[in-house]
């Protein structure tokens, strides 16, 4: 059984193909996943799924990632979730904004699968210590 077994990861991206592909990659690596395709769906899914890790795009309809992250932090059962921004926006201003709005890590969509899996593993390890 993989050490990732039972770690819940919520993937949120309005690019359905990207979200679904990432979900499959994480499932293959032993994670339990759920996908959402806009900010509103993300909030709804997070309440029922209670993810330990959230991978969140920034530029989405019905709440941006920068609007969703602080909303998640306000929910007691989600306040310690490890929130990763996965976005095309890699400029300094976007990175500063994700830091201010409650993200733990900012990755750009040029990230390799190895780097992304490493980030998810770091989130899992941090969640295990809380």
d(CA 91, CA 108): 9
CA 7 to chain centre: 12
Per-residue pLDDT reduced to its tens digit, 28-83: 999 999 999 999 999 999 999 999 999 999 999 899 999 999 999 999 999 999 99
The verdict on pTM exceeding 0.95 is: no
Residue 129 has pLDDT above 80, yes or no: no
Per-residue pLDDT reduced to its tens digit, 15-30: 999 999 999 999 999 9
Q: Positive or negative CA dihedral for 73, 54, 3, 113?
A: negative
Euclidean distance between the first and final Cα of the chain, in Å? 22
Q: Which domains does the chain have, with CATH numbers?
A: 8-129 (3.40.50.2300)
Per the prediction, the chain carries an average pLDDT of 92
């Amino acid at each position: 059984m993989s050490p990732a077994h039972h770690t819940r990861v919520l993937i949120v991206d309005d690019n359905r193909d990207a979200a679904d592909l990432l979900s499959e990659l994480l499932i293959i690596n032993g994670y339990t996943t759920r996908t959402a395709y806009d900010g509103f769906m993300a909030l709804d899914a997070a309440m029922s799924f209670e993810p330990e890790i959230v991978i969140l795009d920034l530029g989405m309809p019905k709440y941006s990632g920068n609007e969703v992250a602080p909303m998640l932090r306000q929910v007691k059962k989600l306040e310690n979730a490890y929130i990763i921004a996965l976005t095309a926006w890699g400029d300094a201003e976007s990175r500063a904004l994700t830091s201010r709005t409650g993200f733990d890590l900012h990755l750009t969509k040029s990230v390799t699968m190895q780097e992304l899996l490493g980030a998810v593993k770091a989130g899992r390890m941090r969640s295990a210590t809380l």
